């Protein structure tokens, strides 16, 4: 048995166990995307300029994936995109502590070992930065296998008091910001409502793809809020604070805030919203050719609502169902592949759309709300290619 067959069998087992895909979603056992199969070559997009390239990882800088070259279902830790607004702090695993403070019956403190000795669980989750989009050909994205402890259990142990409203998650990374001529030291932080924080899948993760959480990804422990944009996943976390007021820090109230025009009870208004759960989104990332046959491949991500279908449209043709990788789970990315038979020589436009089981369909660019900020760029992404 070759390794491909073995992993395919394992994928199927995994898919049966999770029940993540909606009944009726196309599932094809022998689909091998994402690894390029033997003899397959990439057909270059004509919408990606020659100047587009992915720099190697550099300390303290943003790093993105070249999505044409997604080579594995789980993104290698070194390839998984990197975003940090205050640099990448050095944290010593031995002296690191996580504290739970504020409106709790018992303030708690944990070492890394304390967390590792508790009930641990594992899960797949993919996510993208709220600032991901067409300008980077969707490169601020990744999918990984995480191990850690449940946030809910720790909060229950601390005992959240009546009247508490929000839970703030602080990172170790601190930067000096100048506000009205005054320098203030501020830690990266994000907040969740009590209800959002208590979801059982929320994790304090200390392993990524079977390795101790790497420095760049928030060592020794990061928050993982499956189904949410990356900004919720606080890296280098060291304090969880429960309070009865809303936390209005920079990454809740100023950045990662979408400004768009929407209908508010019959009145068209420009309104802001904090970036929270991932919108329903798919994108084509590559076209491969082998022996004159073409395949169109891509990914979908959302808030965890089961997916009904992913479809592809070529030029002005009909929407046609793509095959979804059976390995997909509730919060993983969903990779898809479409057999493009008899692709004719010449220029083509290709686009994908994803539909969830509630009948929600990924918006076209025309259907997207008018928006000023570049956050939440989730509309259908039309690509161009020459066969
Ligand atoms: N402590 C801390 N956590 C953070 C950030 C940060 O700047 N500091 N950036 C957030 C943002 S905006 C994103 S998109 C994700 C990126 O996680 P990654 O670099 O592991 O891919 O981390 C989030 N967690
Ligand atoms: Mo982000």
Measure 229 CA to ligand 1 centroid, in angstroms. 10
Measure 344 CA to ligand 2 centroid, in angstroms. 39
pLDDT of residue 28: 40
Residue 110: inside a domain, yes or no?
A: yes
Do the Cβ atoms of 25 and 307 come closer than 8 Å?
yes
pLDDT of residue 33: 62
Q: Ligand 1 in contact with 64 (CB < 6 A)?
A: no
If DSSP states are collapsed to H, E and C, what string results for the chain? CCHHHHHHHHHHHHHHHHCCCCCCCCECCCCCCCCCCCCCEEECECCCCCCCCCCCCCCCCCECCCHHHCCCCCCCCCCCCECCCCCCCCCCCCCCCEEEEECECCCEEECHHHHHCCCEEEEEEEEECCCCCHHHCCCCEEEEEEEEEEHHHHHHHHCECCCCCEEEEEEEEEEEEEECCEEEEEEEEEEEEHHHHCCCCCEEEEEECCEECCHHHCCCCEEECCCECHHHCCCCEEEEEEECCCCCCHHHHHCCEEEEEEEECCEEEEEEEECCECCCEEEEEEEEEECCEEEEEEEEECCCCCEEEEEEEECCCCCEECEECCCCCCCCCEEEEEEECCCCCCEEEEEEEEEECCCCECCCCCCCCCECCCCCCCCCCCEEEEC
Q: Ligand 1 in contact with 252 (CB < 6 A)?
A: no
pLDDT of residue 13: 32
pLDDT of residue 260: 94
Measure 230 CA to ligand 1 centroid, in angstroms. 6
Output the six-digit token pair for 356: 């969830």
Residue 24: inside a domain, yes or no?
A: no
Do the Cβ atoms of 220 and 172 come closer than 8 Å?
no
Collect the ranges in the chain with pLDDT lower than 70. 1-35
- For the chain, what is the domain count? 1
Q: How many beta carbons lie within 10 A of that of residue 109, not counting itself?
A: 11
pLDDT of residue 35: 66
5 contacts: CB under 8 Å, gap ≥ 6 = none
Dump pLDDT digits (tens) for 333-345.
Answer: 999 999 999 999 9
Length of the chain: 387
Closest Cα to atom 23 of ligand 1? 231
Between CA 159 and CA 241 the distance in angstroms is 12
Q: Ligand 1 in contact with 276 (CB < 6 A)?
A: no
Between CA 2 and CA 266 the distance in angstroms is 60
Report the CATH number that the domain containing residue 118 is assigned in CATH: 3.90.420.10
Q: Ligand 1 in contact with 224 (CB < 6 A)?
A: no
Between CA 319 and CA 350 the distance in angstroms is 10
pLDDT of residue 71: 81
Output the six-digit token pair for 274: 């904090």
Residue 252: inside a domain, yes or no?
A: yes
Between CA 119 and CA 367 the distance in angstroms is 45
Measure 103 CA to ligand 1 centroid, in angstroms. 26
For 194, phi then psi, to 5°, come to -60, -45
pLDDT of residue 236: 98
Do the Cβ atoms of 164 and 194 come closer than 8 Å?
yes
Residue 143: inside a domain, yes or no?
A: yes
Q: Ligand 1 in contact with 226 (CB < 6 A)?
A: no
Closest Cα to atom 11 of ligand 1? 231
Residue 368: inside a domain, yes or no?
A: no
Measure 21 CA to ligand 1 centroid, in angstroms. 28
Residue 217: inside a domain, yes or no?
A: yes
Residue 251: inside a domain, yes or no?
A: yes
Q: Which domain holds residue 112?
A: 67-259
Output the six-digit token pair for 311: 């479809």
pLDDT of residue 12: 34
pLDDT of residue 69: 87
Closest Cα to atom 9 of ligand 1? 84
Dump pLDDT digits (tens) for 349-377.
Answer: 999 999 999 999 999 999 999 988 889 99
Between CA 371 and CA 93 the distance in angstroms is 42
Between CA 41 and CA 54 the distance in angstroms is 20
Q: Ligand 1 in contact with 83 (CB < 6 A)?
A: yes
Q: Ligand 1 in contact with 326 (CB < 6 A)?
A: no
If you search the block for the tokens 């390839």, which residue do you land on? 79
Residue 293: inside a domain, yes or no?
A: no
């Amino acid at each position: 048995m070759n390794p491909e067959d073995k992993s395919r069998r394992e994928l199927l087992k995994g898919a049966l166990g999770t029940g993540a895909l909606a009944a009726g979603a196309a599932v094809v056992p022998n689909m091998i995307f994402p690894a390029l199969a033997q003899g397959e070559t990439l057909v270059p997009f004509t919408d990606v300029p020659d100047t587009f390239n992915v720099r190697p990882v550099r300390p303290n800088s943003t790093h993105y994936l070249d999505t044409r070259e997604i080579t594995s279902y789980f993104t290698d830790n070194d390839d998984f995109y990197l975003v940090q607004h205050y640099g990448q702090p050095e944290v010593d695993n031995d002296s690191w502590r996580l504290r739970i403070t504020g409106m709790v019956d018992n303030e708690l403190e944990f070492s890394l070992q304390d967390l590792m000795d508790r009930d641990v669980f594992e899960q797949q989750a993919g996510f993208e930065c709220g600032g991901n989009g067409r300008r980077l050909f969707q490169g601020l994205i990744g999918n990984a296998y995480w191990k850690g402890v449940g946030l809910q259990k720790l909060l229950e142990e601390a005992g959240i008091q009546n009247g508490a409203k929000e839970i703030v998650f602080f990172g170790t990374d601190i930067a000096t910001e100048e506000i009205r001529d005054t320098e203030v030291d501020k830690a990266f932080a994000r907040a969740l409502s009590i209800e959002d924080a208590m979801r059982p899948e929320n994790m304090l993760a200390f392993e990524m793809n079977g390795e101790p959480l790497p420095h760049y990804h928030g060592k020794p422990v990061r928050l993982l809020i499956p189904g949410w944009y990356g900004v919720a996943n606080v890296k280098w976390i060291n304090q969880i604070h429960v309070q009865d007021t809303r936390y209005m820090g920079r990454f809740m109230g100023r950045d990662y805030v979408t400004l768009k025009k929407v209908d508010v009870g019959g009145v068209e208004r420009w309104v802001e919203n904090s970036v929270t759960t991932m919108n329903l989104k798919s994108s084509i990332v590559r076209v491969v050719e082998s022996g004159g046959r073409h395949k169109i491949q891509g990914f979908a991500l959302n808030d965890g609502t089961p997916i009904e279908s992913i479809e592809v449209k070529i030029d002005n043709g009909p929407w046609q169902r793509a095959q979804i990788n059976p390995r997909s789970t509730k919060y993983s990315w969903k990779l898809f592949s479409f057999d493009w038979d008899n692709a004719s020589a010449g220029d083509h436009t290709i686009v994908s759309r994803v539909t969830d089981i509630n009948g929600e369909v990924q918006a076209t660019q025309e259907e997207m709300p008018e928006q000023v900020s570049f956050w939440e760029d989730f509309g259908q992404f039309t690509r161009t290619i020459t066969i």
